[in-house]
Structure 1
């Protein structure tokens, strides 16, 4: 089980894609992102940076909460504080 941003970054470092799902405090999905390409993690800024296969950046996600991995939907799940 992935429980922190650093563990999530290590897990996806060499992945061919990444799916992130963000839920609000009320439990509803507020954002989702899938990236085909590579994902890097900037620990100084707590930010995931997605890079497309042609090398251009396609997304950036700042995460200030713990991250869980949900095997049922094959996605990293970020839940905001209640």
Structure 2
């Protein structure tokens, strides 16, 4: 189980894609994103950045809560503060 941003960053460091699901405090899904390509992590800004094969950024996600990995949906799950 991945429980911190740093662990999540290590897991996706060389990934071919990244799926993120964000849940609100009430438990309902509020956003989902799947990005194909290289995914990097900026620890200073706590941000995942997806980069296309030609090198231009295609997506960015700021993660300011702890991150879980849900094997059932093959996605990183971010829950907002309760």
Q: Which moved more, 1:70-79 or 1:55-64?
A: 55-64
Where do 4+ consecutive residues of structure 1 move more than 3 Å? none
Distance 1:37 1:69 in 2: 19
Residue of structure 2 equivalent to 1:75: 75
Asked if 2 retains the 8 angstrom alpha-carbon contact of 1:36 and 1:53, the reply is: no
> Which residues of structure 1 form unaligned runs of 5+?
none
Asked if 2 retains the 8 angstrom alpha-carbon contact of 1:19 and 1:34, the reply is: yes
- SS for the counterpart of 1:8 is helix
- What's the offset of the Cα at 1:47? 0.5
- The count of residues paired between Structure 1 and Structure 2 equals 82
- What's the offset of the Cα at 1:35? 0.6
- SS for the counterpart of 1:61 is strand
- What's the offset of the Cα at 1:13? 0.2
Asked if 2 retains the 8 angstrom alpha-carbon contact of 1:19 and 1:75, the reply is: yes
- What's the offset of the Cα at 1:27? 0.7
How is 1:54-69 mapped onto 2 (pairs within 5 angstroms)? Answer: 54-69=54-69
- What's the offset of the Cα at 1:53? 2.1
What is the Cα-based RMSD across aligned positions, in Å?
0.6
